Amino acid sequence: MIVSLILGMLAQAAEPPVPGWNCDNPTVQQEMNWCAGQDTAAADAALNLQWKITAAEMKARDALFAASSSPQYDKRKGYFQSLLEAQRAWLRYRDAHCRVDGYSARGGSMEPMLVSFCVTNLTRKRTEELKALSQNEQ
């Protein structure tokens, strides 16, 4: 609920650079690119909110594990460090993958929109993955 409210406020806060642009029915490529970028920004904001929730949960799990008798036998990275490593790798993957995805229109006016579509799609999927991790009971 809070996430939806914040995303709604973000969407309203961004004024189009050209009066009359409408993301409900974009008609020119620049308008489509800008609208795709707005979707990417909203997906990124949702990812960042979910990251905070999931990171806090992983830190809490680390604390519970440290309080158990197992730490002396298990020297692997903890929940949070593993999550952070995975997130950094995922960001590199997403950006490189989507750059390649945009190359189908390399150098053309449509390339930024294709990259934005890809980034938005992968970011939404990653947000759901982070949500599932935080809700996975131990």
Count other C-beta atoms under 10 Å from residue 14's C-beta.
14
End-to-end Cα distance, the chain: 25
Return the higher-pLDDT residue of 124 and 20: 124
pLDDT of 137? 65
Q: What is the reported pLDDT for 1?
A: 45
Single-letter code of the amino acid located at 125: K
The model's pTM: 0.84
Confidence check: pLDDT of 6 > 60: no
Per-residue confidence band for 8, with pLDDT thresholds at 50, 70 and 90: low
Q: Specify the residue for token string 């949070």.
A: 80
Q: Where are the domains of the chain?
A: 2-14+28-135
* Closest to 42 (Cα-Cα) out of 9, 7, 3: 7
More confident residue, 10 or 101: 101
Tens-digit pLDDT profile for residues 69-97: 676 777 889 999 999 999 999 999 999 99
Tell me the C-alpha distance between 133 and 138, whole Å.
Answer: 10
Q: What is the DSSP letter of 110?
A: T
Helix, strand, coil share (%) of the chain residues, nearest 5: 75, 0, 25
pLDDT in tens, 84-130: 999 999 999 999 999 999 999 999 999 999 999 999 999 999 999 99
Q: Give domain 2-14+28-135's CATH architecture.
A: Up-down Bundle (1.20)
